[in-house]
Amino acid sequence: MADMRVSFAGVDFKNPVTVASGTFAFGREYAEYYDLSRLGGICVKGLTPLPRGGNPSPRIAETPMGMLNSVGLQNPGVDAFIRDELPFLRGFDTKIIANISAPTPEDYALMAAKLSDAGVDMIEINVSCPNVRAGGMAFGVTCEGAASVTAAVKKASSVPVMTKLSPNVTDIAEIARACEDAGADALSLINTLLGMKIDPATGVPILANNTGGLSGPAVLPVAVRMVWQAASAVKIPVMGMGGVSRAEDAAEMIWAGASLVSVGTATLADPYAPVKVLEGLEKFLDEHGLTLEGMKGRVKLH
């Protein structure tokens, strides 16, 4: 049996399969389907300093092998998360990663301090949400923006911090290096690709927000390429995500340089997708005589 344990930025994950922020809420819904302790980690729904109602409906549109969403960071706020949701999540033997967004680096830092005190295992800095005006992707598309938030959070946090990168940039390696230099303990990528879908008959965009974030199998090759570019540019570990729905997709991510993989949109179609990816990956490694360490970042380039 392949060794599935992964030490990631000093945090010991029992296996490399996590669930991506925004696709798993705070775990309660999927706990009705399986034991969350089977997962390596849970990246919780994106939190903000205060509760947010999110964007108007429709917030979802299906696209070829993918979907667009424009939820707009609907969440109960960081304090309600710590009070109402974290104790439930702590009942499972899995790593809890708090995903945070805020309008200023100082607000990010305040949230990080609260959450690390409350006992999450890691902080994931969301500087890549394409669906909100203030904060979100605005920080993630420049080296200065991503670095300023990363530095502020790193200073305030007593647990490892991971910056979640936007794919909507020209040079992902440059941003990855800026985050590493600013003190990030890890990187996660990719967030969604900014997209748009228009009703061909009426000319009206399907999403009430007009644009939204593209995810699902359609983005997998983009994500693999960007994980490879980012992981090659830094020494800190990388969590790879974007279109992972099968064990083979996870394997691609690992060859490209990911230490952990995250399953997101696939869970929306099949609640069991993260568990299937995990079990499939274990089998895949055994069948091919591969190990996680042996594959990680060792893509055999032409």
Partner 1 sequence: MADATVVRSFALTDKIHSLTLELPGEASPGQFLHVACGDGLLLRRPISICDAGDGAMRIVFEVKGEGTRRLAAAKEGDVLDVLGPLGHGFEAPEKGRVLLVGGGLGAAPMLLAAKKFDCDAALGFPTAERVMLLDEFAPRVGRLDVATDDGTYGKKGFVTGLVEGRLGDYAAIMACGPEPMLRALAKVCAGAPLQVSMERRMGCGVGACLVCAVKLTDGSVVRACKDGPVFRAEEVDWNG
Catalytic positions are 129
Return the HEC string of 2-36.
CCCCEEECCEEECCCEEECCCCCCCCHHHHCCCCH
Q: By CB under 8 A, which span of 17-25, 128-136, 224-232, 287-295 interacts with partner 1?
A: 17-25
Q: Which is nearer to partner 1, 54 or 119 (CB)?
A: 54
In angstroms, the CA 29 to CA 89 distance is 12
In angstroms, the CA 71 to CA 34 distance is 25
In angstroms, the CA 88 to CA 143 distance is 36
Q: Count residues binding partner 1 (CB under 8 A).
A: 37
Q: By CB under 8 A, which span of 8-16, 21-29, 89-97, 285-293 interacts with partner 1?
A: 21-29
| Smallest distance, partner 1 to C-beta of residue 31, A | 11
Q: Which is nearer to partner 1, 147 or 241 (CB)?
A: 241
| Smallest distance, partner 1 to C-beta of residue 143, A | 31
Between β-strands 17-19 and 41-43, what pairing exists: parallel, antiparallel or unpaired?
parallel
Two tokens at 40? 């390596």
| Smallest distance, partner 1 to C-beta of residue 180, A | 31
Instruction: Report the phi/psi class of residue 215: left, alpha or beta, with left for phi > 0 and alpha for psi in -120 to 50.
Output: beta
Q: By CB under 8 A, which span of 67-75, 99-107, 125-133, 224-232 interacts with partner 1?
A: 67-75
Chain contacts with partner 1 (rule: CB under 8 A):
22-25, 28-30, 32-33, 45, 53-62, 64-67, 69, 71, 74, 206, 216-217, 265, 267-272
